[in-house]
Chains A and B, each alone.
Chain A
Amino acid sequence: MSRFGSWFESRLPIGSTVRKFVKEDIPGGPKFTYALGSTTLLTFLVLVVTGIVQLFYYAPTTASAYASVNFLRFQVPFGWLVHGLHYWAATLMIILALLHLTQVFVWGAFKKPREMTWILGVLLLLGTLAAVFTGNPLAWDEKGYWAAQVAAGIAGSIPLIGGWLRGVAFGGVTPGQLTITHFFGLHVAIIPLVIGAIFGLHMVAFRKEGAAGPFDPAKLNKSGAFFPDQLLRDLVVFAVVLGLLIGLSAFLGTPVTGAADPLDASYVARPDWPFLFLFQILKYLPAQLEVLGTLGVPLFGTLLLLLVPWLDRSPQRSPAKRPVAMVVFVVAGAALITLSVVGAQSTTAAVAAPAGAPGPTPDSSIVSTPPGPGPSIASTQIGGAEHGRQLFVSFCQECHGAKGIKGVENPGSVDGEVPSLDPIDPEIVGKTSADFVAGLDAYLQNGSVPDAATSTPNASPKLKMPSFGNTFALTQPQIADVEAYVMQLNGADRAAIVRPGIKPTTYFWISFVLLGIVVVGSGAAIVSAERTR
């Protein structure tokens, strides 16, 4: 060590501390399966880093949250990646944590004297779920808004403390400004700090006894060191996971569900996937037993998980010798997965059309306050094409035809039929994406009357385009959604990335190659270490 190095080390012993931490024997030798815990941690770190970057763009207000998220992911260089990594890492962290929990359960690694490691791990899973739950509404899009609305309803229906709890968590009766700021504070400050603290304790408890190793004592004679043997494997697994996250961000992106719309009765609210099983249970319960689903099942499940070390007390670790525990675990896991899948696929009983029921003239909606002048709210919002598709079926299809391909006959008009929307009149498309939006918006807001056919001078066209915006037949966010869908029909993306930094797919292939080199190199090192052992 250089003179400066030893001077430094004797005053701030970083090197020896790190060496002490990484110099740990792995009973039974290093394994790729041991990387589950460390990869969960690294995924959490991805969330922390991308979360901090997002703080530089995100605005936690009902008026700006959705627009600020869209600005980040479509206008900020690499914003698509920052937001995409955050979105997909959250999903993956839950999956990794569940796999880690499964592994520890099946291998009996939670047993005496590692009960505290298990309990702290369960608390980490709960903390992660809380982070997903509070993060979801922050974008203030349709998905997040309605998830918050249902959650507020659930909180409020809890006996005795419900009203108070809802007030504290949501800052009011219905989701609003204080909901965003409360969830923001929880999501970016309290929950990460709590997760970090519990993780520290999880590590203290883990290092006290070290890894449990294989349950088969015969396999314990192998050994290896945390560094480099296990860390190399962790690196390989994390490189693969990171490549996966970049790939998901580049090829799938993040969902655009449209701006939060409190008036919307057509958006089918579904909770985020980790909570789908609870959603599905709610549907089976009669009203008077509802609290069983909203409070009973989550509390009972948590208690059950926390008590696992005392429910399965035999010193046997091998799953073959713990048949009851294995059967219970498999049944519970299968039930959770089944309920989640059924919940994800469920649709509503009947397709409900909102105010101003479908039809050429939305006359069943009466408006007291017309919208103000200036560009419409809809034209400034990035709508969700998928929700737009559903609205199109209810409101537009009757005249413009399925997917807007061929309009119905319109006697008395110059064209003789309602204009098709795919392909749409090039004049509406214009030169830029903004032209296209503005062109569509004028028709949707104000409606229009087609030119009368010259052959029948006194007749007026049978059908006219109704005004959807000025009459409130559709809300502004709904109009933005329909605009996004009609653009999509014509091959234009309302949610196109304007400034990607590096094109998402290009960036994926660059990282694919670089991460591939890391994986191959580390893999070679692992193989050669195994040979010399």
Chain B
Amino acid sequence: MAADERPGDAMVSRRGFLGWAFGLSAGVVALVAGVPQVAALLASPRKAKANDFVDVGPVADIPVGEPTGLTFVAESVDAYSVQALPHNVWALKDASGTVTVLSPVCTHLGCQVAWSKLAGHFVCPCHNSIFNKDGTVVSGPAPRPLDALPSKVKDGVLSVQWVDYTPGTPTKTSV
């Protein structure tokens, strides 16, 4: 107990008050300096703007009934770096000629699924999620079917928009 404090003193002592006041002031100084640092660290980057549709090839080249791997390069913005990134998608053409384009990103945790001719299924190498050729789940931990990507056909050419969907959730939401 400090010398200037008297036992039983109901009032806050001078030393005690100074201690509180100093602590508070130092705290304010630290907050002024520190909050922006923490904010910069914790800032979630802005949502990227939607990608453009990219032509991936003539619809006529896609065989009917079997998923076909399509590879295309699309410009994508990653923070400050603008890169032409390759993307790999799976196109399935039904008998009527309608094409569904599936994202290869596993809906479980985001690994790349691939079509296995041998098994007749899409297989994810990470946690063994297995999907039918239309993307519906056969087995494994995947919470939803493979995501269909926006696609359109113009003058017989298929174009696809690359979209990232949140893995691990039962509902399909773009991120």
**Chain A residues close to B by CB (< 8 Å):** 62, 146, 149-150, 152-154, 156-157, 162-164, 167-168, 171-174, 176-178, 262-269, 279, 282-283, 285-288, 290, 348-357, 364-369, 472, 475
Contact = CB atoms under 8 A, between A and B. Distances in A.
Interface stretch (B1-9, B19-27, B114-122): B114-122
B62 interface: yes
A322 B104 CA distance: 53
B139 to A, nearest CB: 8
Contacts of A365: 68-71
A366 B143 CA distance: 30
B71 A355 contact: yes
B128 A353 contact: no
B45 A287 contact: no
Contacts of A287: 108, 141-143, 170
A212 B32 CA distance: 44
8 contacts: A153-B111, A263-B86, A282-B127, A283-B141, A287-B143, A349-B123, A355-B69, A369-B73
A344 B111 CA distance: 18
Contacts of B79: 171-172, 176-178
B116 A366 contact: no
Interface of B: 41-45, 48, 54-57, 61-63, 66, 68-73, 78-81, 83, 85-88, 104, 108-119, 121-128, 130, 140-143, 164, 166-170, 175
B111 A150 contact: yes
A149 B114 contact: no
Nearest to B90: A355
Contacts of B41: 168
For the residues of B in contact with A, the DSSP-based class is loop
Contacts, number: 179
Contact of A263 (B81, B88, B122, B167): B88
Contact of B128 (A163, A348, A366, A367): A348
A157 B109 contact: yes
Contacts of A288: 143, 170
Contacts of A177: 78-81
Nearest to A269: B126
Contacts of A357: 115, 117
Contact of B175 (A62, A163, A176): A163
A171 B143 contact: no
Nearest to A472: B71
B68 A283 contact: no
A290 B143 contact: yes
A469 to B, nearest CB: 12
Contacts of A367: 57, 71-72
Contacts of A176: 78-79, 81
